[in-house]
């Protein structure tokens, strides 16, 4: 921290996008866990163009193209997963698979039915994900509980308070 590594990674990302002829770079940020906060991107020339708490959408455009936006149907997307406990995930990395298993195992321990839904393509994530962090979500009765991995103790506390 404080050594400029994040700025160097961001600059490499921007340069790669320029070389590929892209119109700009869009980043998802959050001041919670699993994502970088927006400040590091703003320090590197990005501007915030949309927000869906706790997420911010930031962009650095290379041309005059319009600003990207978040979809405006998050409540409907979440409701489509129906009642009960649902983990929505992608096969992106082993930590996500482990997080999903933790939710399913903890639910079984509490006697709660739970299911897992895997989103397998970018198009599916873009149209079905229940939050801007499309690779992992925990929902209960069509409401987002978390977009990040929860340890069993924390998950039990949250599920017991509902």
In 21-73, alpha helices (H): 38-42
Find out whether 106 and 152 touch, Cβ atoms under 8 Å. yes
pLDDT in tens, 88-112: 999 988 889 999 999 999 999 999 9
**55-91: per-residue pLDDT in tens?**
999 999 999 899 999 999 999 999 999 999 999 999 9
According to DSSP, residue 103 is labeled H
Matching residue, tokens 């995930």: 89
Question: What are the counts of helices (DSSP H) followed by strands (DSSP E) for the chain?
Answer: 6, 7
pTM: 0.88
Distance between CA atoms of 23 and 70, rounded to whole angstroms?
A: 18
Confidence check: pLDDT of 162 > 70: no
């Amino acid at each position: 921290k404080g050594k400029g590594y994040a700025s160097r990674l961001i600059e490499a990302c921007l340069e790669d996008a320029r070389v590929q002829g892209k119109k700009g770079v869009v980043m998802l940020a959050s001041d919670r866990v699993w994502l970088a906060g927006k400040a590091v991107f703003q320090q590197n020339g990005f501007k915030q163009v949309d927000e869906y708490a706790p997420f911010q959408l930031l962009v650095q455009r290379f041309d005059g193209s319009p600003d990207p936006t978040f979809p405006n149907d998050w409540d409907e997307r979440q409701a489509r997963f129906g009642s009960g406990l649902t983990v929505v995930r992608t096969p992106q990395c082993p930590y996500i698979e482990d997080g999903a298993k933790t939710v399913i195992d903890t639910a079984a321990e509490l006697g709660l039915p739970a299911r897992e839904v895997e989103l397998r393509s970018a198009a599916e994530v873009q149209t079905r994900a229940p939050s801007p962090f499309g690779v992992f979500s925990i929902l209960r009765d069509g409401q987002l509980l978390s977009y990040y991995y929860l340890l069993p103790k924390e998950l039990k506390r949250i599920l017991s308070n509902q």
